[in-house]
Amino acid sequence: MLNINVSKKLASFVFEFKHEINCQGVTAILGVSGSGKSTLINLINGLIKPDIGYINLNQETLVNTEKHVCIAPEKRQIGTVFQDALLFPHYRVIKNLTYGAKSLNSERFDEIVTVLNIGSLLNRYPAMLSGGEKQRVAIGRALLTNPQLLLMDEPLSALDMPRKKELLSYIDKLVSDLNIPIIYVTHNINEVKRIAQHVAVLEQGKLIDYGSTEQILQSNYLKEWL
């Protein structure tokens, strides 16, 4: 369970989010460009700090401004995958995968490599990978840090349609085979329909709707998008 109650002044509005996110399966964060989706992700992973408020993950405090607690991003047990894979170009895939992992469990390594189907890529450099393969390696690297939660910030946006479809099926497998909860940022309703069980809708830095994917797809707000 992710319990969020934060406020952060941004350039054109104050971002405010107060809700509990039930971390099971995929929760999509949906909103138009500039609505505050990346801000929410970066508040959760600790790359930015709220002006006021708190975030608790499974009863553990990640940040609490009143109590002057702010856990460093690398200590939050949260993995983040961004729009671009951000791999080290001078390291082979295997070193990119293991770079951030403190202690490596070889069974877990094999499991993640199998689920993401990246075993044949381990000795290649990033320049020798397609966009979809790079993103699978970036997901593998995030998972090898043993996160309790995986954040994905528009992970498909740099991919063409066939690669998008392919990566979506890998994201399904993360949930079904590895049982990792995912918060997935997108402005694409088809991606939401395809993988999310719950949806939070943001507009101008405010949470305007939250519910199951079926409920949200029926909402008047989303009818304008369809």
Footprint of ligand ATP (CB under 6 A): 10-12, 31, 33-39, 187
Q: How far is the CB of 40 from ligand ATP (least distance, A)?
A: 7
Spatial separation of the C-alpha atoms in residues 113 and 111, rounded to whole Å: 6
As a whole number of Å, the end-to-end CA separation of the chain is 30
Please, what is the minimum distance in Å from the beta carbon of residue 224 to ligand ATP? Answer: 17
Best CA proximity match to 65, nearest among 13, 8, 107: 8
Q: At residue 195, what are phi and psi to the nearest 5 degrees?
A: -125, -15
Nearest approach, Cβ of 184 to ligand ATP (angstroms)?
13
Q: Least separation, in Å, of the C-beta of 33 and ligand ATP? A: 3
Minimum CB–partner distance for residue 9 and ligand ATP (Å): 7
Would you say 33 or 106 has its CB closer to ligand ATP? 33
**128 vs 202: CA distance, rounded Å:** 37
Q: Which is nearer to ligand ATP, 129 or 199 (CB)?
A: 199
Nearer to ligand ATP, 14 or 101 (CB): 14
| Backbone dihedral angles phi then psi of residue 216, each to the nearest 5 degrees | -65, -35
C-beta closer to ligand ATP: residue 92 or 187:
187
* HSE-up of residue 108 (Cα within 13 Å, Cβ side): 16
The rounded distance, in Å, linking the Cα atoms of 34 and 51 is 19
CA distance 11 to 37: 15
- State the burial class of residue 14 (Cβ atoms within 10 Å of its Cβ: 0-12, 13-18, 19+): middle
Q: Which is nearer to ligand ATP, 11 or 226 (CB)?
A: 11
